[in-house]
Amino acid sequence: MRIDIVTIFPEYFGVLDVSLLGRAREDGILKVEVHDLRDFTHDRHRTVDDKPYGGGAGMVMKPEPWGEALDAILPATPALATPTAPTEVPGVAQGDSGEVDARSGATGGPIVIFPSPAGEVFTQAMARELSSAEHLVFGCGRYEGIDHRVFEFAATRASVRLVSLGDYVLNGGEVAVMAMIEAIGRLIPGVIGNPESLVEESHEDGLLEYPSYTKPAEWRGYEVPSVLTNGNHGAIAAWRRDAQFERTRRVRPDLLPPE
């Protein structure tokens, strides 16, 4: 998989050199390129933001550097010729609608993901779906967000998704992109040594995972549940399933179907 990241803080992504994803990059399973958005500006101050049209607090990221960055990463192909003026792009809300929760573009080609608190919520199912993509591009917004026309333009070159990590606001997209890359990257075949370890974890079957224990069987007066130490595999599987349901009902009842 190839991943391109556009950001004004390339240093955030230094940690992609370490751990499992670092090894996946060394092994050539994952190719990551980080692009500094300011390299696509042409003024002395390398300006990437400006005041919002219509007024309001904060600054908005200007479209021009984003356009040039996307041109460099996703050059126009004759088959997907870029319109010179905004045209209706299937699936992408146009500028004045206020909606930015668009999914659009051809399937199977590159996917451009803009992290945004206004996007669809990132889930394990989405991570799994994205783990089979050949090319992901992440565009990290800062300030009050990116000029909406950038999403419409990007949709002429790729599928576009606005994706939120959850119902809270971060200072920018970088931390959200790190989380998404880790969740997606570990699902790429070959990244995790023992793929069986991916099967029984939280969210894979729609439930939270069961509690885990290792030796010693008694520690500081706390005992491992005896069912786990008696070797009855049927009883162990049943106990784990019950524990998953009990935990999910208590902590995340929203994950269970209505009774």
Nearest to 211 by CA among 195, 220, 199, 200: 200
> Which residue has the CB atom at the shortest distance from ligand ADE?
115
The reply to whether 227 sits in an annotated binding site is no
Q: Which is nearer to ligand ADE, 111 or 176 (CB)?
A: 176
Shortest gap between Cβ of 9 and ligand ADE (angstroms)?
13
Contacts (CB under 6 A) with ligand ADE, residues 90-109 = none
CB closer to ligand ADE out of 109 and 117: 117
Rounded Cα gap, residues 145 and 148, in angstroms: 8
b/e 177-196 (16+ beta carbons within 10 angstroms → b): bbbbbebbbbbbeebeeeee
170 is an interface residue for ligand ADE by CB under 6 A: yes
53/168 with CB nearer ligand ADE: 168
User: Smallest gap, in angstroms, from Cβ of residue 171 to ligand ADE?
Assistant: 7
Cβ closer to ligand ADE: 56 or 166?
A: 166
Structure tokens at 204: 């894979």
Give the C-alpha separation, 181 to 24, whole Å. 12
Task: Tell me whether residue 73 or residue 162 sits nearer to ligand ADE (CB atom).
Answer: 162
Q: Does 30 bind ligand ADE (CB under 6 A)?
A: no
- Give the count of beta carbons closer than 10 Å to the beta carbon of residue 85: 4
Which residue from 105, 110, 173, 185 is in contact with ligand ADE, where contact means CB under 6 A? 173
Q: Near ligand ADE by CB under 6 A, which window of 149-157, 164-172, 187-195, 225-233?
A: 164-172
Q: State the minimum distance, in angstroms, from the CB of residue 30 to ligand ADE.
A: 21
Nearest residue to 180 via CA among 119, 238, 108, 100: 119
126 scored as a contact of ligand ADE (CB under 6 A): no
In whole angstroms, the minimum distance from the beta carbon of 203 to ligand ADE comes to 18
165 makes contact with ligand ADE (CB under 6 A): yes
How many residues bind ligand ADE (CB under 6 A)? The answer is: 11
Stretch that binds ligand ADE, among 6-14, 114-122, 232-240, 244-252 (CB under 6 A): 114-122
Which residues belong to the annotated binding site for S-adenosyl-L-methionine?
141, 165-170
Positions that interact with ligand ADE (CB under 6 A): 115-117, 164-166, 168-170, 173, 176
